[in-house]
Every structure is written in structure tokens, then in C-alpha cells.
């Protein structure tokens, strides 16, 4: 492959089925993912995980901690930072959905990376999330035996929504059987905390500078989905985690959704605003 763009071999057939009406798009599930940053002497690095090759969706691809919204993410939680109404306006949803999306971002980061954006007061963050009791709670969250609201309440913690910056929004193409409406957030690694591979879906995690990750993608060394490499390229212009967070409120959250059309005997697959991902697929061949 010329680069590391994730491209499932079944896409052409599914795109044709969508075009002829034999495939009905499934409704996308709301999801959230977090680009966790830490500063280094060479600039900010981002935490990434490699999805296990056995995963049905994007196996082997590098991504960020994240996942689907749990319906219980709407349950009342102690909340610090911008109000739910502010987040609703920022994300373009109602207040209940806004809370659920922000909670999912914080919860999934804890479940998959062991990093928790919450604290005992509205202006503090927990400093250490290691130990058997923390791991027991994290495992209960993953198993859905414990809701995020119950977890925060039992530990007397407030969710720090002010530590997140909404960055972009991508929706899985209509021809995919598993679809997600995903909000991407940016956050800085809290002082005293450290990441670890806590996800059963990943076989490797790395801290890597966005520019280095993008270069490895361009060489075909790292496999990524379009939103992952797109956000990496967007992060390369920021010299610190604080700079990226400061830029987040001004970013456009118009959803990016892939489009497929038939043109002169080939399928043209494109992502609006992201020309580098355009694919030309002969009706009986592989993408170019």
C-alpha cells in the first residue's frame, strides 16, 4: 500500500449495494475518543493504541482511547467546568446527550488508558489511579457492572469537563455495518498520572509525536483510519498540549461523513474537506 490508510476489501461491494438500494444504512451509535497529550522536549506527544488484528472493526489500526456512549452516561454526576448547556451548544446536541458524550470521553479514557479526568474538588485532579482498588473499579466499569456516575459518586469525584476540548466530529460511512457518530476531544495528561495499556482491544500502546506518527503513516508503517491521520495532521501545528487545548474552542465541529458515487464506471469514495483520502475504485477492481 502507498500509505497506511485502513481500507477494508469488502467496501466496494457494500458501496455498490448502497448505490443500488439493496443495503440500508444502520443508524450510527454515539461515541467519543480522546487525543491525550503530554509535553516533551521535542514537542507534544499523543497517546495511541494499536487495535488487535482480531478486532472486527479496524483490526491492526492505530487509534486513540475511546468507545461508544453507555446509556447510563446520562445519569447525574458531579460536574465541574463548562455547564451542560454550554457543552450542548458546542456539540450540537441536547443537554442529556452532551453530558453522555463528555462522560463517555472521560470514562473510556479511564477504561482504556487508566487516566482519569476527575478530581475531589472542582479545580483538582486525582494524582494516582493505580492500585488494586482502582483496578477493581475500572474492571467493573468495563464489564458495565458499575456506571460511571456510581464510580464517581463512591469516590467523591467531580468530572472535570474543563480538561477536555472538543476537536472534531466524524461519522462512519453509511455503507459500514458498524457505524459511529464520534466526537474527538483533546486533553492533557494530568500531573502524577500515567498511561498504561488497560484495553482488551489493544495489543500495543505508544506515546508518539503527531508529526512522527503521520510520517510513519505516509510510509505505510502505521495503519490508521482517515479520522485518526486527519487529526494527527491537525495536531502537528501546535507546540504544546496547552496550545492544542486553547485552539479547541475555535474548531469547526461540522460532522465529516464519507460520500460514495458512481462516476464513469468507477466508484469514487471521498471525505469532504479531506482530499487525501479520496479513492477511485474500478467496478471490478481494487482502490487506486
pLDDT tens-digit readout, 137-154: 999 999 999 999 999 999
The candidate with the shortest Cα–Cα distance to 203, out of 106, 61, 105, is 61
Mean pLDDT of the chain: 90
pLDDT of residue 227: 94
For 170-225, the pLDDT digits (tens) are 999 998 888 999 999 999 999 999 888 766 677 888 999 999 999 999 999 999 98
C-alpha 80/C-alpha 77 separation (Å) is: 10
Confidence of residue 38 (pLDDT cuts 50, 70, 90): very high
Separation of CA 179 from chain center: 13
Fold of 25-252: Nucleoside Triphosphate Pyrophosphohydrolase (3.90.79)
Beta bridge partners of 21: none
The pLDDT of 95-115, averaged and rounded, is 96
Torsion angle, alpha carbons of 275, 55, 211, 112, to 10? 130
Cell 476489501 maps to which residue? 9
The burial class, CB within 10 Å (0-12 / 13-18 / 19+), for 252 is exposed
> How crowded is the C-beta side of 233, counted as CA atoms within 13 Å?
12
Residues ≥6 apart with Cβ < 8 Å to 243: 44
* Secondary structure in 3-state letters for the chain: CCCCECCCCCHHHHHHHHHHCCCCCCCCEEEEEEEEEEEECCEEEEEEEEECCCCCCCCCCEECCEEECCHHHHCCCCEECCCHHHHHHHHCCCHHHHHHHHHHHHHHHHHHHCCCCEECCCCCCCCCCCCHHHHHHHHHHHCCCCCHHHHHHHHCCEEEHHHCEEEEEEECCCCCCCCEEEEEEEEECCCCCCCCCCCCCEEEEEEECHHHHHHHHHCCCCCECHHHHHHHHHHCCCCCHHHHHHHHHHCCCCCEECEEEEECCEEEEEECCEEEEEEEEECCCCCC
The pLDDT of 57-73, averaged and rounded, is 87
Residue with the larger pLDDT of the pair 15 and 1: 15
Residue with the larger pLDDT of the pair 7 and 196: 196
Amino acid at each position: 500500500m502507498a500509505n497506511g490508510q485502513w481500507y477494508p476489501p469488502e467496501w466496494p461491494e457494500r458501496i455498490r449495494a448502497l448505490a443500488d438500494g439493496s443495503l440500508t444504512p444502520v443508524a450510527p451509535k454515539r461515541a467519543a475518543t480522546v487525543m491525550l497529550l503530554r509535553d516533551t522536549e521535542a514537542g507534544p506527544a499523543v497517546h495511541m493504541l494499536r487495535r488487535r488484528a482480531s478486532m472486527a472493526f479496524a483490526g491492526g489500526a492505530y487509534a486513540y482511547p475511546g468507545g461508544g456512549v453507555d446509556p447510563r452516561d446520562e445519569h447525574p454526576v458531579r460536574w465541574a467546568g463548562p455547564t451542560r448547556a454550554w457543552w450542548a451548544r458546542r456539540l450540537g446536541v441536547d443537554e442529556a446527550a452532551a453530558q453522555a458524550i463528555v462522560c463517555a470521553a472521560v470514562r473510556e479514557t479511564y477504561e482504556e488508558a487508566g487516566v482519569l479526568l476527575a478530581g475531589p474538588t472542582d479545580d483538582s485532579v486525582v494524582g494516582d489511579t493505580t492500585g488494586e482498588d482502582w483496578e477493581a473499579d475500572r474492571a467493573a466499569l468495563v464489564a458495565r457492572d458499575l456506571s460511571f456516575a456510581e464510580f464517581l459518586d463512591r469516590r467523591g469525584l467531580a468530572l472535570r469537563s474543563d480538561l477536555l476540548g472538543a476537536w472534531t466530529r466524524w461519522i462512519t460511512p453509511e455503507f459500514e455495518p458498524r457505524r459511529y457518530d464520534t466526537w474527538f476531544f483533546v486533553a492533557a495528561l494530568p500531573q502524577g498520572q500515567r498511561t498504561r495499556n488497560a484495553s482488551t482491544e489493544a495489543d500495543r500502546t505508544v506515546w508518539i509525536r503527531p508529526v512522527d506518527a503521520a510520517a510513519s503513516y505516509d510510509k505505510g508503517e502505521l495503519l490508521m483510519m482517515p479520522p485518526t491521520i486527519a487529526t494527527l495532521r491537525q495536531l502537528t501545528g501546535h507546540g504544546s498540549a496547552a496550545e492544542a487545548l486553547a485552539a479547541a474552542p475555535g474548531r469547526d465541529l461540522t460532522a465529516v461523513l464519507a460520500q460514495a458515487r458512481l462516476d464513469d464506471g468507477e466508484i469514487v469514495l471521498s471525505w469532504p474537506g479531506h482530499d487525501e483520502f479520496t479513492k477511485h475504485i474500478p467496478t471490478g477492481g481494487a482502490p487506486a
